[in-house]
Structure 1
């Protein structure tokens, strides 16, 4: 494992009373990668939780800040993001707040979520939407070169299955460590099958990482910027 850490840009913290560390979604996030705890009951509970939040989701969050954080990934980690090929897969799309940036940067995007009410909030025509459980996606092996997980659970084996050779996973937490669905870059790499490496940084309150299989990291990109953890 190697992690390149780039200098943060305008680092900040979200202070609004939300305790992401002790949020129920944090517990689910951690148990999924630690012991694979995910089944029909939990799937239904999570879908229902986000269904209830869907109507007010976009209005209570900054689309501009989220778009800027994802755009920073494509600017400063450009060498780690593969050339746009086929479709990018955005999981946990919610109401589509990150999707316009992803469409602009990549082109074809498939936007998926477990919550039908959230999918109903995605602007029409923005991207094809798909209701799906990210632990068992209706996709063939190695079908996408880019997976975007913004404030989304990590299902390590399934991400490894559908990610094409040479592909990348973008892991983004819009509130940084206070995001309810949060994992450190190291935890993400440890959970994924096999050997992985990443470049990470912070933009405003958001933290992000671009993860690739270590054997497919762009030449010369490990150990040459800022600090490296091995």
Structure 2
């Protein structure tokens, strides 16, 4: 189980609940895809691209209002993030891009829907139409992946994340969302061993995930069996240093500290 931070942002009244049978079908699809029980096909990509093209014109007014609490809470309480590029997956009309830019600076907004990206003009300066199963990013080049109500492509996320990178997984409507995945489902789908911290906020929830590898991972510079190896499983890139409570746990001698400990969950 992931450490659960106490809720500090209450759930307001008027939560918009999607149609039960439609949401259930999408959740089943999302879980099967993440777990590898269902392939991602060109037909599925075309269906979703067309669906969100149809929704783009009314998205801001009808479907996306009042759902930013999980993202703001995650950025405030998830801990310090690594410096570098943020890849925003499922960026839609760019409602959350300015918030991510304020936190990370450089944000590349990725969406499968061309019309969603057109509506994001003025909010998302770096927009790319792409399939999240084949991201237009080099190996180990992204510090943060922010996936907001997205399908999970675990191998591809692990490929593009830098050795100190993290995955910020946002469920805007929590368990009621049509693409909801729990933190346990996300961690189980990703290659290697992942740890996360999570919380509920507003109508939704979020986990922030990063990975730990076995100390015997080839190329690890850690010489102490007592210290957990911090080299990311399934990713490319050199070992690095993370400081926790002022103590270097693992990394090469010429590495620099990149991230500090997250808040300790309350009992």
Q: TM-score, normalised by structure 1?
A: 0.88
- Count of aligned pairs between the two proteins: 222
Q: CA deviation at 1:68?
A: 3.6
Give the drift of 1:125: 5.5
Matching residue of 2:16: 16
Matched, 1:225 2:223: no
2:48 is the counterpart of 1:46: yes
Partner of 1:186: 184
> TM-score, normalized by length of structure 2?
0.76
Larger of the two Rg values belongs to structure:
2
Report Cα offsets for 1:168-222 as digits up to 9, x if no partner: 0000011111111110000000000000000100111110010001354763658
Bigger Cα displacement from structure 2, 20-29 vs 176-185: 20-29
Q: Distance in 1 between matches of 2:131 and 2:76?
A: 30
CA change 1:218–1:37 in 2 (3 A) is farther
Partner of 2:139: 141
Local SS of the residue matching 1:29? helix
Where structure 2 has 5 or more consecutive residues not aligned to the other structure, the ranges are 213-228, 231-241, 246-260
Residue in structure 2 matching 1:166, options 157, 161, 164 = 164
Rounded Cα–Cα distance in structure 2 between residues aligned with 1:166 and 1:209: 17
Correspondence 1:121-132 to 2 at 5 A: 121-124=119-122, 126-132=124-130
RMSD of the alignment, in Å?
2.2
Q: Which structure shows the bigger proportion of residues in helix conformation?
A: 1
Q: Distance in 2 between matches of 1:218 and 1:153?
A: 32
Q: Which runs of 5+ in 1 are unaligned?
A: none
Query: How far apart, CA to CA, are the structure 1 residues paired with 2:177 and 2:9?
Result: 18
